[in-house]
């Protein structure tokens, strides 16, 4: 396919994803205030008694509810979004690799939502308790609605994405791009990258960074096991190389 055809295909996939997220937004907006109350719960529980979030802009609460509905719409549409990603990259896969579409969509959705839930139920309570522990009689926390939603949504999406690591390694292994020996050999670089990503995606405190880096290290270890168990034998790699060479010869003969 020419590059223009790929760009046209990408445009159609992005439009489909946008429509799906928009439909999720419309269905979620009515429940946005209630969903934001649930989202605020870990921070409210960590605040001093009789404390709450505030907003200082006239339109701040309204736009926050809009963003909550968009975030909820994205999570609701995530199976379709992941399916569209698969369909877009599937032309570059072997025929037997394309049959993984249903497992890919199913497990990637579960891992994405599971990562977000891990962030909400495990990281949020301890992280906010640590950060608000610096309050004193003269320094009282007055968190803003806008700033809290920005932080919470970034963390939810970040944990959702990083929990996809074992699944991505599974497919990279199936395509012959990654092996368990390579992952073990490059562990020191992966360790540096993990802590770098954790520092960028979390607030500037050591506790929250470790609460993301720890699960990432565990996921990296699980990914090594996945790569070892599902790695392609040498015979299969050679068969695929022969298949690619034969396809290239046929194309050359036809031309």
pLDDT in tens, the chain (255 residues): 677 777 888 889 899 999 999 999 999 999 999 999 999 999 999 888 878 889 988 999 999 999 999 999 999 999 999 888 888 877 766 677 677 778 888 888 999 999 999 999 988 988 888 888 888 878 888 899 999 999 999 999 989 998 988 888 887 887 777 888 989 998 989 899 988 888 887 777 777 788 888 888 999 999 999 888 877 655 444 444 444 444 444 444 444
For the chain, the maximum distance between any two Cα atoms, rounded to a whole number of angstroms, is 82
- Measured CA angle at 90 (ends 88, 91), to 5 deg: 95
The reported pTM is: 0.81
> 144 in helix, strand or coil?
strand
- Tokens standing for residue 245: 């060479």
The HSE-up count of residue 7 (CA atoms within 13 Å, CB side) is 3
Beta-bridge partner residues of 144: 54
Burial of 208 (0-12, 13-18, 19+ CB in 10 A): buried
- Asked whether 102 and 58 are in contact (CB, 8 A), the reply is no
Measure Cα distances from 17 to 20, 76, 103 in Å: 5, 11, 20
């Amino acid at each position: 396919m020419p590059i223009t055809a790929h760009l046209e295909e990408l445009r159609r996939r992005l439009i489909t994803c946008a429509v799906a997220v928009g439909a999720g937004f419309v269905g979620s907006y009515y429940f946005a205030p209630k969903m934001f109350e649930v989202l605020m719960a870990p921070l409210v529980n960590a605040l001093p008694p009789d404390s709450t979030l505030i907003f200082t802009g006239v339109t701040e609460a309204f736009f926050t509810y809009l963003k909550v509905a968009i975030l909820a719409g994205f999570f609701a549409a995530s199976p379709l979004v992941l399916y569209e990603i698969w369909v877009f990259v599937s032309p570059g896969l072997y025929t037997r690799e394309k049959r993984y579409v249903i497992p890919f969509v199913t497990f990637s959705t579960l891992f994405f939502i599971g990562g977000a839930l891990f962030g909400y139920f495990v990281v949020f309570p301890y992280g906010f308790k640590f950060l608000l522990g610096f309050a004193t009689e003269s320094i009282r926390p007055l968190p803003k609605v806008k700033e809290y939603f920005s932080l919470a949504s970034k963390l939810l999406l970040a944990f959702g994405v990083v929990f996809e690591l074992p699944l991505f390694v599974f497919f990279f292994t199936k395509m012959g791009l990654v092996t368990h020996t390579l992952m073990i050999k490059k562990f020191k670089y992966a360790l540096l990258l993990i802590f770098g990503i954790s520092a960028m995606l979390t607030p500037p405190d050591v506790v929250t960074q470790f609460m993301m880096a720890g699960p990432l290290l565990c996921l990296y270890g699980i990914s090594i096991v996945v790569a070892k168990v599902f790695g392609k034998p040498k015979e299969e790699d050679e068969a695929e190389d022969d298949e690619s060479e034969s396809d290239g010869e046929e194309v050359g003969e036809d031309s």
